[in-house]
Amino acid sequence: MTGHDVVFVLVGLLTAGGAVLTVTSKNLMHAALFFAVTLGGIAGVFLPLAADFLALVQIVVYVGAVAVLFMFGLMLTRAPIGREALDGQNRGLAMAVAGGLFVVLSTLVIGAFGDLPTAEVTGPRIDDLGIAIFADWVLPFEVLSMLLLAALIGAIVLARRETGESGEELTVTRIEMAQDRDPDALEREQAALTSGSGGDGEEHA
Amino acid sequence: MSPIGPLLLATFLFCAGVYGVIARRNAVLVLISVELMLNAVNINLVTFQNLLYPGDPAVTGQMFALFIIGVAAAEVGVGLAIVFNMFRNRASVDVDDADLMRW
C-alpha cells in the first residue's frame, strides 16, 4: 500500500460516513453540516487521485457556496425537526432500493475493473487543463456561462415576491407556525420592535 | 493505486443519495441527496481520467467533472427557488404534500 492508498482510504471512510449521516440525520442543520463534511471529503479524495485543481474548485464551489445556500434554504423554510417528520413512510423501500442498487453496481464494477493492475496516478498539469478548456472545450464553456446566466435570472424570477401588473405588492398572509403560542407573545414582540427602532433612531440622531 | 477503491466509494455515495431521495420528505434534503449523487459521478470521472486514460490531451474526464460542478451549482439555485415558491404557496416543503397538479 502506497501513501496515496492510505490517504484515500482514510478520507474515503470519512466521506462515506458523512454521506450516511447526511441522509439519516434527524436534525436538518446537522444534515446540512454533514453534507458539507462529505463535500470536503470528496475534495480530499480528489487529492490522492492527482486532481488538485478539481479539489480546489470543489472546495470553493461546493463547500463555500452550495453548502451555505442549502443552510439558507433550510433556515428560510422552517420545517419541523424530528426523524418521523423528516423521513417518509417508505424508509424500508428506500433501504431496499439503495441496498439492491449498491449490490448490483458494486458487482458490476468489481467484475469490470477488479482485475485491472494498480497504476501510478498521473494527473494533468494545471496549464494543460487551462489549454484544454480554452482550446478543446471552449464551446461547452461558453454554453455553460449562458446556462449560469439563465439559471441566475430564472432563480431571481422564481423566488421574487409576486407583484401585480401595476407593480404593487400583493398582501402576503403571515404564516403562523406554532399553534400553541401564547397570545401575549405578539404584543411583546411588537413592543420590543418599537422600542428597538426607537433606540436606533436615537443613535442615528 | 487501484481504481476499484474510488469506484466503490462513488457507488456507495450514489446509493446513499438514492436512499435520501426516496426516504426524505423535506424538499431541501431531497436536493442535498441529488447533489450527493452528482458528486459520486464526479469521483468516477476523475478516477477513469487519471488512472485509466492519463495521457488524454483533452483531459476529458476532468473537464466533464468541472462542467458537472457548474451545472450542479445552477441546478441548486433554481431548485431552491422552486422550493421557496412552494413554501410560500403551501407553507410546507414536504414533497408528500406537493401532489396537487392543478390550480
CATH code, B76 = 1.10.287.3510
Q: Which chain A residues contact residue B36 at CB under 8 A?
A: 19, 22-23, 35, 38
Q: Is the interface score ipTM higher than 0.95?
A: no
B100 domain residue, yes or no = no
Instruction: Nearest chain B residue to A89 by CA: give it.
Output: B23
Q: What is the pLDDT of residues A92-124, one digit of tens each?
A: 999 999 999 999 999 999 999 888 888 788 888
pTM: 0.81
pLDDT, residue A199, reads: 44
Tell me the domain boundaries of chain A: 1-81, 86-115, 125-159
CATH topology of domain A1-81: Four Helix Bundle (Hemerythrin (Met), subunit A) (1.20.120)
Which domain, by its residues, includes B55? 4-90
Judging contacts by C-beta atoms under 8 Å, the chain B residues touching residue A82 are: none
Residue-level pLDDT at A168: 54
Q: Is position B56 within any domain?
A: yes
Between B103 and A130, residue with greater pLDDT: A130
Is residue B99 included in any domain, yes or no? no
Count Cβ atoms below 10 Å from residue B51 Cβ, excluding itself: 25
Q: Is A153 on the interface with B (CB under 8 A)?
A: no
Alpha-carbon dihedral sign for residues A161, A164, A169, A171: negative
Give the least confident one: A68-72, A132-136, A160-164, B36-40. Answer: A160-164
Closest CA to B26 of B96, B99, B101, B100: B96
Task: Name the burial class of residue A126, with classes exposed (0-12), middle (13-18) and buried (19+) by CB atoms within 10 angstroms of its CB.
Answer: exposed
Dist. CA A109–CA A156, nearest whole Å: 42
Count other C-beta atoms under 10 Å from residue B6's C-beta.
Answer: 23
Closest partner CB to B22 (pick from A28, A85, A93): A93
Burial label for B40, CB within 10 Å (0-12, 13-18, 19+), is: buried
Distance from CA of B100 to the nearest CA of A (A): 18
In this predicted structure, the answer to whether residue A193 has a pLDDT above a threshold of 80 is no
Residue A13 pLDDT > 60, yes or no?
yes
Q: What is the DSSP string of A106-120?
A: HHHHHHHHTTPPP--
Rounded to a whole number of angstroms, the distance from the CA of B98 to the nearest CA of chain A is 13
Distance from CA of A189 to the nearest CA of B (A): 22
For A118, residues 6+ apart whose C-beta sits below 8 A from its C-beta are B1, B2
Asked if the structure places residue B102 within a domain, the reply is: no
Are A105 and B11 in contact, with CB atoms under 8 Å apart?
yes
Report chain B residues whose CB lies below 8 A from the CB of A58: 42, 69
Q: Does A76 touch chain B (CB under 8 A)?
A: yes
Is B98 a member of any domain? Answer: no
Asked whether A50 and A123 are in contact (CB, 8 A), the reply is yes
Which residue of B lies nearest to A59 if distances are taken between CA atoms? B69
Q: Which of A85, A95, A84, A86 is nearest to A32 (CA)?
A: A86
Q: Does B18 sit within 8 Å of A90, measured CB to CB? A: no
The C-alpha of B8 sits at a distance from chain A's nearest C-alpha, in angstroms, of 6
On the question of pLDDT at A201 being above 70, the answer is no
Provide the domain count of chain B: 1
DSSP A26: S
